[in-house]
Amino acid sequence: MKSIKRELHCPVCEEMVKQPIVLPCMHSVCVLCAAEVLVQRGYPPPELPAEPKTPTSSPITRSPRQTRRPPPKTDRLDRVIRTVCGTHPGRRRKDTPPVIMLFPCPTCGKDVELGERGLADCLRNLTLERIVERYRHTVSLGSMAVMCQFCKPPQALEATKGCADCRSNFCNECFKLYHPWGTPRAQHEHILPTHSFRPKVLVCVEHEQERLQFYCRSCQRLLCPLCKLRRAHSGHKIMPIALAYQTLKEKITKEMNYVFANQDSVQAQITQVESGIAQTEVHSTVAKEQLNQCVSELRSVLAERQGALAMLLEGARAQRAGALNAQLSEKQSLLENAGLLTYTQELLKETDQSCFVQAARVTHNRLVKAIENQQHFSLSADPSFRHFQMDVSRELKALSSMDFIQAPLAPVIDTQKTLAYDQLYLCWRLPQDSAPAWHYSVEYLRKVGSSGSNGTHCSWQRLDDVGGTSAVIDKLEMDSVYVLRVRGCNKAGFGEYSEEVYLHTPPATVLSFCLDSRWGLHAERVALGKGQTYARSVPGMTLLQAADRALTSCHLTSDLLVADVSITQGRHYWACSVEPGSYLVKVGVGVEAKLQEWFHLPQDMASPRYDPDSGHDSGAEDTQDCPPPFCFLTMGMGKILLPKCGASNTSTGPLTAPLPPRLGLCLDFEKGRLTFYDAHSLRVLWEGTVDCSAPVCPAFCFIGGGALQLQELIANRSTEQNPPRRVTIQTHATDAGH
């Protein structure tokens, strides 16, 4: 019992609880403490339940015979009050809106809403009161005597009984006096003497005569039969109080047995915590020594630098002082010119011209030098030392911001550069105010099941000691969703994880190829970039010269580019990006032999026959069951044209959609089906069929100006590009009839 003393303390007064009440957050406080807290918060003083220390009257004021009078009935008193106040059934006086009281629970630290009635809606914690009573009798037995409340003061005796109905303590004689034999008081329940009396059972705070016989699992509240019928509890899970008692008791018993059965693990955890406390002391001492050492090193470096700068300043002072002293000596020597001037005056008295000229030549030179020194005087050294002023604002700012090293903040993943292709490429950066990271840890996992949010996850896999701000992850499964995150690490340890990003791998093996122009590249209009993965088409002189016939004919030039590989089996995926400003670009696949035939034989570009978008020959002599030899999508001017699907949509034209940044294509050779994707999200744009009875190759067609870039393999980014391949340059022009 001594070990539970801490559990019996009120969190407000930190003493043994007295008349505890249960807050809506299921924590208990003294009712007086709760009232004081509410008053301190500015709420009106609540009406506290009375706790009489005596029965209905005291023996000093009323005799035992007078106490037998029955108390006035409450219903009669209510009728009198209603009559005086003038309130009748069906008529309700307007009241002010009730004040919702908020009680700051010191245990959970939250503001708990008490309701309109405040503390009156809170039930007393009778169980806690019984535990406190047992604790007092067990631990403090004999130290706190309970005295009889009805003995006269000089002859007060120790109480031997307590009456739960009278809520008072009696000695043997007083108990017999106030509970005469043959009266209703003789049937009162007597208990051990106590300083706090409590009700026998819990009753509803709103319906005072109703016992709490039900428990609402939805609201987690005790209910009386009348509260159960309220609309507020309709549809809630309500069970009898006996069932709730049995269920909760079994759970607590199991939990208590589990705690008792795992005392060894608790002791091991205690040992671990004690070891952590000891290590904290040791490591804090080491950190303090490192701090003192770092500050001492700063002081030594500062003192060394101060000495070096002082020596430099002293050298400059000595040099300038020497120059000024030399100039001072020179100027002082000019004071001796007084003899020169006297000599010159005597020289001017000479009348012999030849003798004057002979003697005056040297004197003239000395006078000229003296005049120049007076007219062009300046100090030989600057005495201000302006160049020796120090600006330590940057150093002071650095010293004032000197702090213990912090772990890096959560990196920010660059979703524009991060992509999944043949491999997975992840790029990120640190926030500007983050501490630097020595290396990074990249973690990823594959979602098992559907690609939606309901899919399950495998275990996290990790790439440790990543040096830069990007990483490549290989050996991934096709058509799967991967979750990625990254965090930095430095001397302070690992920082927080970045936000998780989801990437969908391609639905098939990535096909690597280059552009081959052996069927129609014209150097004047189409140019291939380095590595033959980029092509740009510019309308040349041919289209300009055809402008004269614009009123009589439609002259279009087209250039076909195909892949340097052919597909004969399996499923393959590739991606490309079309410049949004392109005029018309067709992207798709076709039978290699049919592409040659279609490209080399002049055809009407406006006719649906051999129209790459329709994907089939619409001549009457062809059978409808034969799949088309081509399957293309047309895009240009920032839009993509989605052809009509099936015969049921013949009345409606094709749809247009915004051009995605990257377009993905997946060819299933065995099924003869080509699927177009938004390569960023792998959202299906359109599906078409193609004849796969012969080798099929990816194809691209330019009509007018445009540019196209094949998606580069992530594996080739760190390798050297292959030398450009030789191509055969051909041209092709088609004319529509007049």
Residue 60 φ/ψ, nearest 5 degrees: -75, -35
**Number of C-beta neighbours around residue 608 at 10 A:** 12
In whole angstroms, give the CA distance from residue 366 to residue 340: 9
Task: Report the predicted TM-score, pTM, of the whole model to 2 decimal places.
Answer: 0.53
Q: Per-residue pLDDT tens for 419-460? A: 999 899 999 999 998 989 999 999 999 987 644 444 555 789
Count other Cβ atoms within 10 Å, centred on residue 180.
13
Distance from C-alpha of 500 to C-alpha of 460, rounded to nearest angstrom: 12
Determine the Cα–Cα distance for residues 288 and 270; give it in Å rounded to an integer.
27
Percent of residues in the chain assigned helix, strand, coil, to nearest 5: 30, 25, 45
Please state, in angstroms and as integers, the Cα–Cα distance from residue 440 to each residue in 235, 424, 466, 495, following that order.
53, 17, 5, 10
Alpha-carbon distance 670 to 672, whole Å?
6
| Distance between CA atoms of residues 658 and 574, nearest Å | 20
DSSP string of 103-141?
EE-TTT--EEEEETTGGGGSPB-HHHHHHHHHHHHHHST
Which residues touch 135 (CB under 8 Å, ≥6 apart)?
A: 1, 4, 5, 8
Q: Which residues make beta-bridge pairs with 115?
A: 101
The number of residues making up the chain comes to: 738
Q: φ and ψ at 730, to 5 degrees?
A: -135, 165
SS3 36: helix
* CA separation for the pair 569, 670 (Å, rounded): 7
- Per-residue CA distances from 425 to 422, 442, 498 (Å): 9, 11, 16
- pLDDT by 10-residue block (mean), the chain, 738 residues: 75 85 87 87 72 40 39 42 40 57 85 79 81 74 68 77 82 84 82 71 78 85 85 85 88 87 87 91 90 90 90 89 84 67 81 83 80 74 79 84 86 91 92 91 83 59 90 90 93 92 93 77 74 82 57 59 90 93 91 73 41 42 66 90 60 78 93 92 91 90 88 74 38 38
689, 631 Cβ separation under 8 angstroms: yes
CA–CA distance, 228 with 478 (Å, rounded to integer): 58
Chain CA centroid to CA 404, Å: 24
Q: What is the spatial distance between Cα 47 and Cα 120, in angstroms, rounded to a whole number?
A: 8
Q: What is the 3-state secondary structure (H, E, C) of 182-196?
A: CCHHHHCCEECCCCC
Residue pair 488/440 in contact by the 8 Å Cβ criterion:
yes
pLDDT at residue 329, as a whole number: 79
φ/ψ of residue 290, rounded to 5: -65, -40
- Please report, as a single letter, which amino acid is at residue 166: C
403-442 burial, b at 16+ Cβ within 10 Å, e below that, comes to: eeeebbbbbebeeeebbbbbbbbbbbebeeebbebeebbb
Among residues 484, 486, 502, 483, which one has the least CA distance to residue 494? Answer: 486
Q: Which helix (H) or strand (E) holds 541?
A: helix 541-545
Ordered structural domains, the chain, with CATH: 1-142 (3.30.40.10), 243-373 (no CATH), 412-449+458-505 (2.60.40.10), 510-603+629-642+655-716 (2.60.120.920)
How far apart are alpha carbons 643 and 187 in whole angstroms? 95
**Phi and psi (nearest 5°) for 168?**
-145, 165
The tokens describing 392, both together, are 């330590």
DSSP for 412-449, please give it: EE-TTT-EESSSEEEEEE--TTSPP-SEEEEEEEEEES
**Residue 605 confidence (pLDDT):** 41
